[in-house]
Chain A
Amino acid sequence: MAKMKIVVCVARVVDPAQPLEVAPRSLSLDEENLAHSLNAADAHALEAALQVRDALPDTEVTAVSMGRPPCEEALRAGLAQGADLAVRLWDDAFEGSDTLATARVLAAAVRRIGADLVLCGIRSSDGNTGQVGPQLAELLDIPLLTSVVSLEVQEEGRSLVAQRRAGRGYRLVERAPLPALCTVETGANLPRYPRVRVRLRSQSAPIEHWGLAELGLRAEEVGAAGSALRVVSLSPPPPDTRGLTAPPSDMPAAQRWQMVISGGIEQREGGPVEGSPEQLAERIVRFLEERAHL
């Protein structure tokens, strides 16, 4: 079996844990003053790739990321976790890319690497679109499996069997021929903890850099020029108009605050019903029927 090549697309995102101050009708957030981290779902995608490498040792895992030099933080986090190679994709022409333009850049990188399997996190915690993975698969014209929680390469690298979340507690076991692309769910696995030696090495490991020329792209198909979508304004999220219940004083302050922000507890209608167990059971079954739970 020839060497298996896996590309994992990773992103450096605004850390989702910090509070954000968004002025009404602002144009963008001054992201550089905020804390950043490797996108959570991407760490799970990388772990899924490393598990394939554990099973098939002749596998090379490459982390790619599109961004200015600071995004090397995400790539180094990927190297520390265990990726073999890292490539940063940037050219000033990439500035202002929407999801489709980003997918074009990533597609060019995947083609250049010649990947058998492409893994993406299911969505980024800052853009939240979840679009780059599916659009990348479409541009590469390869099979797509979304919401993957675990995967296995079979038939000597010719196909892939993945377990996917299908909603309502269901799981699908689905097969696709390789090359293919999977988007991996947050929480799908337990990303391995970096080993000290690998982590130290990752800090000084070389990171390749590919621009327009290396990727064979034209400036007009990427960046703002190649993007259909424009963000015209950024606002605080719409207020939650539901009624507030006072949070109890024994709750930690942070959680009390969070409860207030999230809109508190919604009061629902209808007083409690009394009766014999049979009558009550009857009432519950009727409720289940009315609300189409059966």
Chain B
Amino acid sequence: MAEQAPGEVWVVVDHRAGQLEEASLELLAEGRALADRLGSALAVVALGEGLGTLAQALGRGGADRAYLADHPLLGDGHPDVCAPVLAALIRRQEPAVVAFPAGRRVRELAPRVAARLGTGLASECTRLDLDAQGLLVASRPTYSGRASAAVLCPDARPQIATFQAGYGAKRAAPPAREPEVVPVEVCTEGASPRTTVERVFRDPPPTMDLADAEVVVAGGRGIGGPDGFRLLEELAELLGGALAASRVAVDAGWVPAHRQVGLSGRTVAPRLYIACAISGTVHHVVGMKESKAVIAINTDRHAPIFELADLGIVGDVLEVVPAVTERLRRTVGVRPSPPDLLRALGGS
């Protein structure tokens, strides 16, 4: 590396099926802005197996360079393998900044890489900025979100940060460019998984933990009884989601109390919330309003739940839901095998 050139800005991306994840693209846009202000290059770093399919997607991130670590052992993204490979690559190339999109696997990987390199890590950041000296100023929530701390890593290198999706400045995507692809030689000596997955399972909808369910199908007064909830359960099963209920349905004894969402129940924030025959009183809504997407099905077209629905359906749940289930049965194919599942879960 040239003596004067400032170190590169790296974004270690999550990818799936030859595509970069949305959060990674968002972080690449942040990284582009940092690199431009520093006058350095932006590099995208991908670890995995069979990365050839990723080549086309890489251009979208606006990176100048792409480091691709392609090795069968990196296929399922086990941190025992990824951490030493990534740490070795960082030692060799000496980037100034390494950023990861925050996520389940990164919460394990990033601290271990930082520990190996003896450098600082600012995790779950909501803002990445530069100070007058060109040091990374990373803002991250602390005290359970009741304060925000700005942290610096003045001496150790690289400066490592993980960034939460959705906090990127809403800037236009950087112009696509053809990054220079640098294949990374993967030395797997001393890098083998020390833990083995024996089983992957998911609880059925009525007992699945509401805290980490990705889809929640909830029913209210209009479901009419336990039989109606069986219809919702079938839909939840097909979507791999959990079954939930409003207080009315719990009080009526149609579903157990641990399924209740709302003020006096649980607070959930799934990727998809399907509110069936729930009118949307605020007591229920406070428990689900952070859901990423909401589908509401209700017979009353003036029900308040429609105000926060991404898709509002005026209709009878007991007719619409079986019709949806019927269609999904035909379209949803075979369930993924455990290895595919592991790979898929790795990205989240």
Contact = CB atoms under 8 A, between A and B. Distances in A.
B286 interface: yes
Select the residue from B282, B312, B331 with max chain A CB neighbours within 10 A.
Answer: B282
Interface string A136-159: 011100011111000000000000
B212 A168 contact: yes
A170 B145 contact: no
A169 B241 contact: yes
B40 interface: no
B115 A134 contact: yes
A70 interface: no
Contact of B114 (A16, A135, A166, A268): A135
Interface stretch (B24-32, B104-112, B222-230): B104-112
B272 interface: yes
Contact of B196 (A125, A165, A175): A175
Contacts of A291: 272, 293
Given A99-B111, A167-B348, A274 B327 contact: no
B195 A174 contact: yes
B168 interface: no
Interface string A112-128: 00000000000001111
Majority secondary structure, B binding face: mixed
A232 B137 CA distance: 9
A251 interface: yes
B118 interface: yes
B147 A166 contact: no
Given A229-B152, A272-B309, A280-B323, A285 B111 contact: no
B345 A145 contact: no
Given A227-B120, A232-B137, A274-B314, A100 B213 contact: no
A169 B208 contact: yes
Interface residues of A, number: 84
Contacts of A125: 143-144
B328 A294 contact: yes
Contacts, number: 273
Contacts of B331: 285, 294
Contacts of B155: 228
B212 A172 contact: no
A20 B146 contact: yes
A281 interface: yes
A127 B316 contact: no
A293 B239 contact: yes
Interface stretch (B7-15, B50-58, B92-100, B199-207): B199-207
Contact of B118 (A128, A228, A273): A228
Interface string B231-269: 000000001111000000000000000000001000000
Give the most central of B80, B108, B152, B295: most A CB within 10 Å: B108
B184 interface: no
Given A255-B263, A266-B289, A278 B147 contact: no
A232 B150 contact: yes
B121 to A, nearest CB: 6
Interface stretch (B65-73, B171-179, B300-308): B300-308
Contact of A170 (B79, B123, B202, B215): B202
A293 B331 CA distance: 12
A277 interface: yes
B151 A232 contact: yes
A230 B209 CA distance: 37
Given A130-B107, A237-B147, A281-B324, A176 B203 contact: no
B310 A268 contact: yes
B340 interface: no
B1 interface: no
A22 B144 CA distance: 13
A228 B148 contact: no
B214 A135 contact: no
A267 to B, nearest CB: 6
Interface in A225-246: 227-238
A29 B148 CA distance: 11
Contacts of B240: 168-169
A270 B311 contact: yes
B312 A277 contact: no
Contacts of A135: 111-112, 114-115
B238 to A, nearest CB: 9
B189 interface: no
B308 A234 contact: no
Contact of A138 (B116, B294, B310, B312): B116
A285 B328 contact: yes
What are the 7 A-B residue pairs with the smallest beta carbon separation, nearest first? A272-B312, A228-B120, A281-B323, A229-B120, A228-B156, A277-B319, A138-B115
10 contacts: A128-B144, A129-B123, A137-B112, A139-B115, A146-B107, A168-B212, A170-B201, A172-B199, A174-B195, A232-B137
Interface of A: 14, 16, 19-20, 22, 29, 98-100, 103, 125-131, 134-135, 137-139, 143-147, 161, 165-177, 180, 187, 227-238, 247-248, 251, 255, 259, 265-275, 277-278, 280-285, 287-288, 291, 293-294
Interface of B: 79-80, 83, 104, 107-108, 110-112, 114-116, 118-124, 126-127, 137, 139-156, 194-203, 208-209, 211-215, 239-242, 263, 271-272, 282-283, 285-286, 289, 293-298, 301, 306-316, 319-320, 323-324, 326-328, 331-332, 341-342, 345, 348
Given A165-B209, A294-B239, 19 more contacts: A100-B120, A125-B143, A130-B111, A146-B107, A168-B212, A172-B342, A173-B197, A175-B198, A228-B119, A234-B142, A234-B150, A235-B148, A236-B147, A251-B282, A259-B286, A268-B307, A277-B323, A284-B311, A293-B215
